[in-house]
């Protein structure tokens, strides 16, 4: 069993460490030469995961061919906007024996909106799985117990990836609903930006609880319109990931919203960040999808206006609170 992890950000590093501690042979691809040298010298990724030691059995490289060629599993931990360029560079090093596992929680522009679709289009000879769930790298790297979901259209692939990642502190479930798992992981970032806005405006627990609940409704609506199963959004990659991303101090998307709520501009916030907040890009794509499929997503609409039209955060909240009255759940409305 040979494993290549592409991307030495916080999540790629944490997954490499998780697998390395199981005694598995792992190659970790580091894009920047300077960071590669720092990690090699200190055995710590001081830029992205400074509190976690990197085992000696993890081989560091900035050669994509070395990281991918003849690997059984290739784990992609790069931002969604970089996925196409990375896939074009590595696809010739993959084959039918390769299982490509995407771990980014975002969406792509164009008809291949889900990231697994992008991977399949660019490397049709390989098999594809998605890993998602309420998993912050900072805690996974410190061996704090958590659970995750691996989804694939092939049961055998899902089970192989499940076996790969299962560990005493990392429990993995399988799912055939790759659409729902991907959408749950991506769309919760939009609601997390909203949760950060609530914190930035010094609103309370009641506000955030209402936001999360109605946010899950929006995620489910769009998911169903795109072919997902409703039950997926009650699981780890739906409600679970939504909760942790909206509540955690580790959440980049919550941080973006919090700074916007404190009257900072989006440009100011993102220019000061080392890592990518996927929810910004995802909001734009999800808003366009809601328009295309006529799906009601009022929270997403207000966050879109907040991010891209410089709408005042307090006005956005006011608009949500004063919308036309309606029933809570469509399926059990009064006749």
- Neighbour order of strands in the sheet with 26-29: 58-61, 26-29, 3-6, 73-76, 99-102, 127-132, 146-151, 170-175
Q: How many angstroms separate the CA atoms of 113 and 288, rounded? A: 11
By CB neighbour count within 10 A (0-12 exposed, 13-18 middle, 19+ buried), where does 264 fall?
Answer: middle
Burial code (b: 16+ CB inside 10 Å, e: under 16) for 204-233 equals: eeebbeebbebbbbbbbbbbbebebbeebb
The three-state secondary structure class of 172 is strand
Q: Is 262 a catalytic residue?
A: no
CA end-to-end distance (rounded Å), the chain: 58
Over its C-alpha atoms, the chain yields an Rg (Å, rounded) of: 20
Q: How many angstroms separate the CA atoms of 147 and 135, rounded? A: 7
DSSP code string of 250-315: T-HHHHHHHHHHTT--HHHHHHT-SS--HHHHHHHHHHHHHHHTT---HHHHHHHHHHHS---HHH
Q: Are 196 and 213 in contact (CB under 8 A)?
A: no
Please tell me which residue in 71, 105, 160, 188 is annotated as part of the active site.
Answer: 188
Q: How many angstroms separate the CA atoms of 309 and 260, rounded? A: 13
Task: Give the relative orientation of helices 298-308 and 278-292 as an angle to the nearest 10 degrees.
Answer: 130
Phi, psi (rounded to 5 degrees) for 198 = -60, -45
The closest of 187, 178, 184, 209 to 290, measured between CA atoms, is: 187
Q: Are 211 and 246 in contact (CB under 8 A)?
A: yes
Q: Which residues are catalytic?
A: 188
């Amino acid at each position: 069993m040979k494993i290549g992890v592409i991307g030495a950000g916080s999540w790629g590093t944490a997954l490499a460490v998780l697998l390395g501690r199981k005694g598995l042979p792992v190659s970790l691809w580091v894009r920047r030469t300077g960071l590669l040298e720092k990690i090699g010298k200190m055995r710590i990724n001081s830029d992205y995961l400074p509190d976690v030691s990197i085992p000696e059995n993890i081989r560091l490289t900035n050669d994509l061919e070395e990281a991918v060629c003849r690997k059984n599993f290739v784990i992609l931990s790069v931002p969604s906007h970089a996925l196409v360029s990375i896939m074009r560079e590595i696809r010739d090093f993959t084959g039918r024996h390769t299982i490509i596992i995407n771990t980014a929680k975002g969406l792509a522009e164009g008809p291949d909106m889900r990231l697994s679709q992008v991977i399949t289009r660019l490397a049709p000879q390989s098999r594809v799985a998605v890993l998602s769930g309420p998993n912050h790298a900072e805690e996974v790297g410190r061996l704090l117990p958590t659970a995750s979901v691996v989804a694939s259209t092939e049961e055998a692939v899902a089970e192989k990836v499940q076996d790969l990642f299962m560990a005493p502190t990392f429990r993995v479930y399988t799912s055939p609903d790759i659409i729902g798992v991907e959408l749950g992981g991506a769309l919760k970032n939009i609601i997390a930006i909203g949760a950060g806005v609530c914190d930035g405006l010094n609103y309370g627990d009641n506000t955030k609880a209402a936001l999360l609940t109605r946010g899950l409704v929006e995620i489910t609506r769009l998911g169903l319109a795109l072919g997902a199963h409703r039950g997926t959004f009650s699981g780890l990659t739906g409600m679970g990931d939504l909760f942790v991303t909206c509540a955690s101090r580790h959440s980049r998307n919550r941080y973006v919203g919090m700074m916007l709520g404190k009257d900072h501009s989006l440009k100011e916030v993102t220019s000061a960040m080392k890592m990518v907040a996927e929810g910004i890009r995802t909001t734009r794509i999800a808003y366009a999808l809601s328009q295309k499929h006529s799906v009601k997503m009022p929270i997403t609409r207000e966050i879109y206006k907040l991010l891209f039209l410089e709408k005042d955060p307090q006005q956005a909240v006011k608009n949500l609170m004063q919308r036309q009255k309606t029933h809570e759940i469509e399926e059990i409305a009064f006749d």
